[in-house]
Amino acid sequence: MKKTNKLLALLLSGSMMLALAACGGETKESESVAPSEPPVESTAVESETPAAALVSDPEATIAMITDKGDINDKSFNQGTWEGIKAWCAANGRGTEGEDYQYYKPVEATTDAYTAMIEQAINDGHKIIVTPGFLFEEPIYNVQDKYPDVAFILIDGNPHNADYSTYKTAANTVGILFSEEQVGYLAGYAAVKDGNTKLGFLGGQAVPAVVRYGYGFVQGAEAAAAELGVKVDMMYNYTGGFDATPEAQAMAAGWYKAGTEVIFACGGSVGNSAMAAAEQNNGKVIGVDVDQSAESSTVISSAMKGLAESVAQMLDAYYAGEFPGGQNLTLGAADNAVGLPMDTSKWASFSQADYDALYESLANGSITLKKDTDAETPTGLGCENVNVQFIEQ
């Protein structure tokens, strides 16, 4: 992130949405992934009668429910959890197990997630933080049942099982990020740095992962057009978020065939890419949090403000200003996405280059396609990036 001091005011004022269109090509709703926000033709509805605003409890304690990943996944779960821990330590609520704790469901199902949320509530926690789209349906199911509990849903908006109805209750806030913007930063920087053989190794093709990838393609396209070069990009979704021999083998094959940099975008899938890079003199761009400490092969990370957004929501709750009922989309205009330039290992892409590019994203000078604008990355209409899309 570039800076974060404006984030609270922007969060409390409502969603900041950027117009999205770029790189040409026919626009249509994606059929390959489930939407994380209502499509235009959706029958989505909000509460028929507005509910009363959530009343904050100064003694409320915090619970985070992990998704199917681990709390130390070096990615989404860990980034959110570390934000909770840091906020609690800074605000005199630093006793793990009392002031805050996390719960790990026994399986990755809506029923298991719902049961664990209710377990946390039964244990007395009144602030529930859930990281990831897998909690969209569970939060939809429980939010009205527990009107005195605050639900902070990261990377999603609550909806029912068939996506026909979206509802964010007065005790719930949904937070999405403009992953396409930080993917763009990563793709642009990679090509501007002299790399013309790239790879995108995503996890499950959920909207956030797709947005990262589409932004990466578009950023590479912009830099390639400026430099007058052609870029080849391998592109695949592994179908999961685990480190697997198959993912490592695919990454290794790409490196051996000439790929210079892989954007590893899928939780522990990044570990597979890093292992392959270490064995093949390759480079990796990490995701969600700064992963530079994970491997010497990591040259940068496409970050979103997981910890920061949770901290701002906790500030708002205890200040009696919880933005319940809102679905927020945070991006460059909110200083909520970015590359960690202090730990990045770019050869020539400079801080000045980054600042200028970031400002163009923040002020809307650069507009991008995202997950609902193309069915596959080859549909982005780019002329300077040749995407070889390897389907699952």
CATH 3.40.50.2300 domain extents, the chain: 7-28+42-178+307-332, 179-303+345-390
Give the strand pairing for 261-265 and 100-103: unpaired
In the three-class reduction of DSSP (H, G, I as helix; E, B as strand; rest coil), residue 375 is classed as coil
Structure tokens at 99: 């002031």
**Which residue's structure tokens are 């590893």?**
264
Give the pLDDT mean for 49-58. Answer: 76
Sheet of 261-265, strand order: 337-338, 298-304, 283-288, 261-265, 197-202, 231-237, 385-390
3-state helix, strand, coil in the chain (%, to 5): 35, 20, 45
Q: How far is the C-alpha of 241 from the C-alpha of 239, rounded, in Å?
A: 7
- Is pLDDT at 281 greater than 90 in this prediction? yes
- Is pLDDT at 333 greater than 70 in this prediction? yes
More confident residue, 15 or 369: 369
More confident residue, 233 or 391: 233
pLDDT band at residue 268 using 50, 70 and 90 as cut-offs: confident
Q: How far is the C-alpha of 251 from the C-alpha of 246, rounded, in Å?
A: 9
Residues near 137 by beta carbon (within 8 Å), at least 6 away in sequence:
110, 158, 159, 160, 161
- Is pLDDT at 22 greater than 50 in this prediction? no
- Is pLDDT at 177 greater than 60 in this prediction? yes
- Is pLDDT at 149 greater than 90 in this prediction? yes
- Is pLDDT at 353 greater than 50 in this prediction? yes
Give the pLDDT mean for 164-168. Answer: 96
CATH classification code of 7-28+42-178+307-332: 3.40.50.2300
- Closest Cα to residue 176, out of 388, 382, 372? 372
Q: How far is the C-alpha of 70 from the C-alpha of 136, rounded, in Å?
A: 19
- Closest Cα to residue 231, out of 204, 195, 205? 195
Q: What percent of the chain has pLDDT over 90?
A: 77
- Closest Cα to residue 241, out of 264, 210, 262? 264
Of 120-129, 217-226, 262-271, the poorest mean pLDDT is in 262-271
Q: How far is the C-alpha of 301 from the C-alpha of 370, rounded, in Å?
A: 19
DSSP bridge pairs for 385: 231
Give the pLDDT mean for 377-386. Answer: 97
DSSP bridge pairs for 236: 201, 390
Of 14-18, 273-277, 309-313, the poorest mean pLDDT is in 14-18
- What pLDDT, on a 0 to 100 scale, did the predictor assign at position 1? 62
- Is pLDDT at 150 greater than 90 in this prediction? yes
pLDDT band at residue 76 using 50, 70 and 90 as cut-offs: confident
pLDDT band at residue 75 using 50, 70 and 90 as cut-offs: confident
- What pLDDT, on a 0 to 100 scale, did the predictor assign at position 186? 98
Give the pLDDT mean for 119-139. Answer: 96
Give the strand pairing for 283-288 and 231-237: unpaired
pLDDT band at residue 6 using 50, 70 and 90 as cut-offs: very low
pLDDT band at residue 377 using 50, 70 and 90 as cut-offs: very high
**Which residue's structure tokens are 């100064």?**
58
- Is pLDDT at 134 greater than 80 in this prediction? yes
Calculate the average pLDDT of the chain. 88
Half-sphere exposure of 232 (CA within 13 A, CB side): 8
Residues near 122 by beta carbon (within 8 Å), at least 6 away in sequence:
none
- Is pLDDT at 212 greater than 60 in this prediction? yes
- Is pLDDT at 54 greater than 80 in this prediction? yes
Give the pLDDT mean for 86-99. Answer: 94
Is there a contact between 211 and 178 (Cβ–Cβ < 8 Å)?
yes
- What pLDDT, on a 0 to 100 scale, did the predictor assign at position 13? 40
Q: How far is the C-alpha of 277 from the C-alpha of 286, rounded, in Å?
A: 12
Structure tokens at 297: 């092969």
How is domain 179-303+345-390 classified at the CATH fold level? Rossmann fold (3.40.50)
Q: How far is the C-alpha of 63 from the C-alpha of 142, rounded, in Å?
A: 15
> Which amino acid type is present at position 200?
F
